Each structure stands twice: as structure tokens, then as C-alpha cells.
Amino acid sequence: MLGAMLGATALGLATLFSAAGGKMTPWAMNQSVRFGVLFVVMLALSYIRAETWKRIAYPGYAIALVMLIVVEAMGHVGMGAQRWIDLGIIRIQPSEFMKLAVVLSLARFFHGVPPRYISQPTVLVVPALLIGTPMALVMLQPDLGTALMITFSGIAIMFLAGIQLRWFIGGAALVGAMLPVAWNMLHEYQRNRVLIFMDPESDPLGTGYHISQSKIAIGSSGLFGKGYLQGSQSHLDYLPEKHTDFIFATMMEEWGLFGGLLTLAAYGYVIWWGFGLAQRCSTVFNRLVAMGLSFTLFLYVGINLSMVMGLAPVVGIPLPLFSYGGSAMMTVMILLGILLSIHREEGRRSSPGLL
């Protein structure tokens, strides 16, 4: 797993180097230093026992929720959204940490629910509040992509915990009925992104510019790409956000289908490892955390790749360990640290003399 993670990170750093025109600054150098520090943090987190993660689940959720409220009250505004807390030396995005907090808090809640009560309607109240409150705060920023990730991760935990399927069907029907209301509540740029997703050619030089240029970069790459440092879309600045949201298109233009499949294989192995870990877990909390965090990583990768290939609306979800940025990388490294912690504990239980 660590080999696959390091491979994906190395390819991401090489892409950032290329996107900057063959220079380490401003992106590749900062990202490499950030990764080095967070890699040590990840290894340190792997030694924390699962019982400790369970104990801090609710306090961690409360802290993340307070940070979201602070963002709404006095957060830093950037690119038309109010998503960050500026601490001077660092700018953090609390909604990223809430992705982990929701998984941990829901896992702790369902760990304490007796199996005979899991099908009771009253069991749904606490999970609904744990998911709905941060989702509403994130939507106010506005950040549709992160709000959807929080919601999907929470729903996945509820399903894996044993909530009956009829509640999900009923919830889906309710969401479907509320779609017209939700559509009117979206900001104009969010509605435009959905419309452009359905018809990308309707405004290729305006709202649809990002996705059109991304598809050109990916579609023109061929089997092995145009060559490292030879990407025309990125180097001539046709491709917007080439070092953040659309970094996969930057990479594929130079590395082609081969690079794309290599990247998918690396991410796929890490996610598969996480799901396999969940199946071996001996407690409800460990199993739900491992499955929930692996699913969160899957959402990161799946939404970003779907977005840059025109299979989903542009929602601003970064590609983990690839896209330039601090909060998302910190979130993913903490996520992997927790998974390694559970892996270490399960190994200790199965082979107490080895770990």
C-alpha cells in the first residue's frame, strides 16, 4: 500500500514540476516538503490505538463543526467561496477535516447500537444530524462537491452498519421530490456547471471552457502521451487549474493512456487494500472506520477523474496526493494514518507476538 501511495505521489510531483514549466517552484518544492512532513505524521498516527480514535471521535467532530461555524462567520474568501480559516502561517479548510470526523463519529455511534435496535426508526435521528449539520454549513460556503462527499460517506456508513434498505429507498424518493427546490437554491454558477455537464458545447469559451480544454488535453494524448514536459495545453496555459483540480488532465497529456492507467492502478490498489482491511476487522468500529475512510478516498478519486473527463459536473474536488494544496493532502495523510493504525491493531490481535 505504501509503495502504491509513494508511486502516485511521485508522479504527482513530476506533474507539478512540468506544470510549472520545468521548475521546482512554486508548486513541486512546496508539495514535496509538505508531503515529507505529513508522511512522518502519518507514520506517527499509525501507532495510535483504535480505542483512542473511538474516544476522540465525538470531540473531533465537535471541533470540526465549530471550525465550520467560524468559517461561516469570519472565514477567508477566495475564488468566490468562503471556505478557509487564515492562521497567518497556514490556511486550513475545515470542511476537509469534517470528511474524516463524520466517518469516525458515525462509526462510534453504530458501534454502541445493539444489533436488535439497528432497524428502529429512532436510530436514524443521530446519524441524520451528524451528516446534515455539516452538510448544510458546507453548502453555505458554497462547496457542493465537499457537501456531497460528506453526505455519501455518511450514507455509506449507515448502509454498512445495517440500516434497512427501505429507509434508503424512501430517502432517495424524498430527495427526488425535492430536486426542484434544491435546484433553485443552487448558486447560478453551480446551475451553469450542471447545464454545461449536460451540454458542454453550449458555451465552450465561457462556463464550459474548463471541461472542454481538459477533454482536449486527455483526448489528444494518445497511448503514451506527448512526452514529459511537452504538454501543449498546460504549458500554453489553455488548461485552467492545471496544478489543482485538473492536474490529471495535465499528467495524461504528457503520459497518455499508459500514465492514466498507471495512476488508476495505484489508487485502485490503495482503495482495495482499505476495503480488504475492513473485512478482516474484529470490531464494528474498526470495520466501519476502515470501510468509510476507504470509501472517502474512492470518492476523492472517482469524483475528480469523472469531473476532468466530463463524466460529472465540475465541483472542485482535488485528486489526492496529486493536486497542489495543503488541507486536502493533510486530510488524506491522516486518513491513511488511521487506516494503518487499524491495520497495526488488527495484526496485533491476530499475531500478538509479532507486533
Per-residue pLDDT of 275-285, as tens digits, reads 999 999 989 99
For the segment 335-349, the average pLDDT, to the nearest whole number, is 90
Residue 116: Cβ within 10 Å count: 7
Confidence category of residue 315, pLDDT binned at 50, 70, 90 = confident
For the segment 52-59, the average pLDDT, to the nearest whole number, is 95
* pLDDT given for residue 75 in this prediction: 62
For the segment 201-220, the average pLDDT, to the nearest whole number, is 81
Confidence category of residue 355, pLDDT binned at 50, 70, 90 = very low
Q: For CA atoms 172, 177, 179, 182, give the dihedral sign.
A: negative
**Residue range 62-87, pLDDT digits in tens:** 999 999 998 887 765 555 556 777 77
Confidence category of residue 346, pLDDT binned at 50, 70, 90 = confident
Cβ-contact 243, 250 below 8 angstroms: yes
Lowest mean pLDDT among 61-70, 161-170, 188-197, 310-319: 188-197
For the segment 191-199, the average pLDDT, to the nearest whole number, is 74
Annotated domain spans of the chain: 2-350
* pLDDT given for residue 352 in this prediction: 56
State the Cα torsion 334-335-336-337 to the nearest 10°. Answer: 40
* pLDDT given for residue 231 in this prediction: 87
Confidence category of residue 198, pLDDT binned at 50, 70, 90 = confident
Largest interatomic CA distance in the chain: 64
Whether the pLDDT of residue 250 is over 70: the answer is: yes
Cβ-contact 215, 246 below 8 angstroms: no
Location of C-alpha cell 462556463: 207
The whole model's pTM is what?
A: 0.90
For the segment 238-260, the average pLDDT, to the nearest whole number, is 91
Contacts of 308 (CB under 8 A, 6+ apart): 211, 214, 218, 245, 246, 248, 249
Whether the pLDDT of residue 25 is over 50: the answer is: yes
Q: Are strands 81-86 and 91-92 parallel, antiparallel or unpaired?
A: antiparallel
Per the prediction, the chain carries an average pLDDT of 87
Confidence category of residue 314, pLDDT binned at 50, 70, 90 = confident
